[in-house]
Amino acid sequence: MANRSYTSRRELEQYSFHPAMTLLVPLAAIVLQVLITKPFAKFAIVDLPLIATIFFAVARRSPIAGTLTGAIIGLCQDALTNQPIGVNGMAKCVVGYTAASIGVKVDVENIGTRVLMNFGFSILQSILLYGIQRGLLGQPGFHLLWVHELIRAAANTAISLPIFLLLDRGKRMI
């Protein structure tokens, strides 16, 4: 007779990464984002650190790890850009927590799920950045252009799919 084990999905499919990958991928995303947007301003529509935050958060399936990953990536991004320190840190912290929480419940290996997650989290980050800029920093001149944010979300989604497939090769089952 077969013996069934009742383990949660989180216990079955939680992944780890080589320490070099854990450090180098987010660092490369941040550096590329900062260096490429200076000469090519149109590339600023893509947010590589956001893509790295989403990938590592859903792969680890730990809300604590997702929160810390988002906070560290966002703070490093703030340190290298003209943003006040903490703006991207707060937004990516919330995105990392939410992505990891959803990763526990939903099959995040499915391409359709990845499309919806990346699009939704890109919109969520835009709303969070708007709230932080207007509410916390009191910058009344900061406006949210919805058409631009939808284009940004679509671009992030299109870029994230091949990046996710490439980074999937570095996963190790715990």
pLDDT of 10 above 50: no
Distance of CA 11 to the CA centre of its chain: 22
Q: What is the pLDDT of residue 112?
A: 94
Q: What is the pLDDT of residue 81?
A: 87
Q: How far apart are CA 60 and CA 54, in angstroms?
A: 10
In a domain, 8, yes or no: no
In a domain, 142, yes or no: yes
78 is written with which tokens? 């703030």
In a domain, 164, yes or no: yes
Mean pLDDT of 14-18: 80
Q: Which range of residues forms the domain containing residue 35? A: 17-173
Sequential DSSP letters for 56-110: HHHHHT-HHHHHHHHHHHHHHHHHHSSSPTTHHHHHHHHHHHHHHHHHHHS-TTS
Q: What is the pLDDT of residue 139?
A: 84
In a domain, 34, yes or no: yes
CATH label of the domain that carries residue 112: 1.10.1760
Q: What is the pLDDT of residue 144?
A: 85
Q: What is the pLDDT of residue 2?
A: 53
Q: How far apart are CA 62 and CA 43, in angstroms?
A: 31
For residue 136, give every residue at least 6 positions away whose Cβ sits within 8 Å of its Cβ, in sequence order, or none.
none
Query: In the structure, what pLDDT confidence band is assigned to residue 17 with cuts at 50, 70 and 90?
Result: confident
pLDDT tens string 83-141: 899 999 999 999 999 999 999 898 888 999 999 999 999 999 999 999 999 888 888 87
What is the length of the chain? 174
Q: What is the pLDDT of residue 18?
A: 87
| Domain total of the chain | 1
Q: What is the pLDDT of residue 16?
A: 81
Q: With contact defined as beta carbons under 8 Å apart, do 54 and 66 qualify?
A: no
pLDDT tens string 40-95: 989 999 999 999 999 999 998 899 999 999 999 999 999 998 889 999 999 999 99
The residue that leads in pLDDT, 14 or 118, is 118
pLDDT of 12 above 50: no
In a domain, 72, yes or no: yes
